[in-house]
Amino acid sequence: MAGLARATWFYPLASAALVLAGWSAVVGLGLVPVAILPGPWTVAAAGIVELMAGRLLGDLAASLARLAGGYVIGAAAGVVLGLVLGSAALARKVVLPWIEILRPIPPLAWIPVALIWFGIGEGSKLFLIAMTAFFPVAIATLKGVRQIEQVLLRAARSLDVTPRQMLLRVVLPAAMPDVVTGLRLGWTLGITILVGAEMIAASSGLGHMVMNGMNSGRFELVILGILLLGTLGLTSDALFARLTRARLLRWHAGLDKASG
């Protein structure tokens, strides 16, 4: 038992089994109406039916496409603006007040305005996710650039590097840990916004699946959607951490796992 308990898979598996058992017991013993809390088996069956019908993968693909598209736009804009603001004092003075004014607005509160400006099609979702990713990435990049040790910059300058080399070989790599923190936060927030936007105004995607499940009284679809969204969040975040550590942060080997 002691050896078993030390295995990394033991506790997560045991706790998942406990949760499933508890859920099954509550439903099986009839403690709550099945109509509003279907058992795990009903949810699993619904998952298989939806998968076979092709709706599940369709919704997943729609969500992922929105997320990826908006994220790439927002994160790229955030990194560029962060670099500019980090290196030009005047730009900082001119742009930062606007960032400070807009940043406290929770991204989900932008949904109605996004719908007004971009309609209920894909445009509004792309805008929302891009904007959600933009702020944390821009601010983290700015912070990263501002905290680069002056010695590094002076050393590079004394070697007569071109501005392009300075940016790509010195500034960006040195700021990378902060940039990555911002990128990760932007991604996590992006998933939340995606769900909100899809629940309020979409005709496809996992958020729509949840909303649709509620409106048609099929709560196994609601739970399926919740679980899929949680899995998407959990796995993409873990993947993110692994990828960035292997690719983007190689030269920061001494750093701990950061916000990990």
Partner 1 sequence: MDVRRLPIASLASVIGVLALWEAAAGMGLLNPFFFPAPSRLAATLVELLTVGYPEGTWIGTHVASSLGRVLAGFAIAVAAGIPLGIVIGYVPALDAMTQGIIAFGRSIAAISVLPLFIAWFGIGELSKVALIGLASFWVLVTYTIAGVKFVDPLLLRAAQSIDTPHAAIFRSVILPAALPRIFTGLKVALAVSFMVIVAAEMIATVVGLGALIQEARTTFRTDITISGMLIIGLIGYAMSRLLDWLEAVLLPWRAGIEER
**Footprint of partner 1 (CB under 8 A):** 5, 11-12, 14-16, 19, 36-37, 90, 93-98, 100-113, 115-117, 191-192, 195-196, 199-200, 206-207, 210-211, 213-214, 219, 222-223, 225-226, 229-234, 237, 259
Locate 251 and state its tokens.
Answer: 């030269």
For residue 72, the one-letter residue type is V
Of the pair 74, 170, the CB lying nearest partner 1 is at 74
In whole angstroms, the minimum distance from the beta carbon of 112 to partner 1 comes to: 4
Q: Smaller CB distance to partner 1: residue 108 or 153?
A: 108
Burial 54-66 (b: 16+ CB within 10 A, else e): eebeebbebbeeb
Q: Report the amino acid identity of residue 160.
A: D
Among 184, 173, 186, 194, residue whose Cα is nearest residue 237:
184
DSSP type of residue 54: T
Q: Which is nearer to partner 1, 92 or 245 (CB)?
A: 92
Closer residue to partner 1, CB minimum distance, 78 or 225 = 225
With residue 70 as reference, give the H or E element that holds it: helix 55-87
Question: Is 166:156 a contact under the CB 8 Å cutoff?
Answer: yes
Closer CB to partner 1, 28 or 97, in the complex: 97
Smallest distance, Å, CB 160 to partner 1?
A: 31
Least CB distance to partner 1 at residue 197 (A): 9
- Smallest separation (angstroms) from partner 1 to the CB of 67: 12
- Return the DSSP state at 247: I
Cα of first residue to Cα of last residue in the chain, in angstroms, is: 29
